[in-house]
Amino acid sequence: MLQLLRTEQISDKINKGESEQKSERWRENKMSKVVVFDHPLIQHKLSIMRDKNTGTKEFRELLSEIAMLMVFEVTRDLETEEIEVETPITTCKCKVLSGKKLGIVPILRAGLGMVDGVINLVPAARVGHIGLYRDPKTLEPVEYYCKLPEDSENRELLILDPMLATGGSASAAINFIKQRGCHHMRLVNLIAAPEGIKRIQQDHPDVDIYVAALDDHLNDHGYIVPGLGDAGDRLFGTK
C-alpha cells in the first residue's frame, strides 16, 4: 500500500508536528508527488535499521533490501509494449519494457548502500555517481565529483540517498544533474523530514519523491527525528 501526501499535510508536519497522513494522489499547482511506502516488509526492516544496536553488516543488508523493495514500486508506471513470444506450447502476447531506460545516481557516500538492491532488480540500469560537500564559508553545496552515463539525458534517473534532511544536498545534486541535460528524475529516500520534502518541492516541482518513512522534524544539529542517526557512518562503520 502506498500513501500519497498532499502539500498541506507536509506543511502541517512542519508547523504543528502532526503525523496524520491521508492516502491521495495530487498534482496541485504542478507540485511533485510524495509517495510513502507503508508495506509491512519495508516497515519491519526499517524498524530494525532504526535500532541503535543494529550492527553495520545487518544495517547494510537491510538498506539494500529496502531499496530493492522500494524501487519495485517506484518503477510501477514504466512504459511497456506488447510483443509476440513463442513458448514451448504456442505463441502468445507478452509485455516488455519500452520507453526510457533507467539510470541510477547515488549521492555519495550513503547513497552507495542502495545501489546493489536496485541493480539486483534492474541489472541493465546504468550507474552514475555524484559527490557534494558543504563550503565552510558560504555553507552552500559544492560538487566535487559527478560522472553520469553518456546517454543519461535520455534515461529515467533514480537519485538515491537514504536520508532527506534539510534537502540542501539533494536539491543541489538535482541541479547539477539538470545542468548536464537530464530532466527525467525521481528522488528515492529511506527517511525524509518534512523540511527536506518542502525544499525539494519548492526547488524541483518536477521531481517526484519516494520515501519509506516521513519523520517528524529536524533537531538543532540537522538530524532527522526520530531518524536512525548518520546513515553513512552506520553503513560504513565510521564515526
User: Would you give the distance in Å from CA 43 to the centre of its chain?
Assistant: 16
Contact 218, 166 (CB under 8 A): yes
Distance in angstroms (rounded) separating the CA atoms of residues 185 and 223: 25
Specify whether 230 is catalytic.
yes
Q: What is the DSSP string of 160-182?
A: E-SEESSSHHHHHHHHHHHTTT-
134, 151, 180, 206: the catalytic one is 134
38, 151, 206, 233: the catalytic one is 233
Specify whether 233 is catalytic.
yes
Q: What is the DSSP string of 96-153?
A: EE-SSEEEEEEEETGGGGGHHHHHHH-TT-EE-EEEEEE-TTT--EEEEEEE--TTGG
Helix axes 194-203, 168-178, angle to 10 degrees: 20
Distance in angstroms (rounded) separating the CA atoms of residues 161 and 126: 17
Lookup result for grid cell 536539491: 171
87, 90, 91, 138: the catalytic one is 138
Neighbours of 127 (CB within 10 A): 17
What is the greatest pairwise CA distance in the chain? 69
Residue type, 85: V
DSSP 26: -
Partnered with residue 180 across adjacent β-strands are none
Instruction: Show which residues are catalytic.
Output: 134, 138, 230, 233
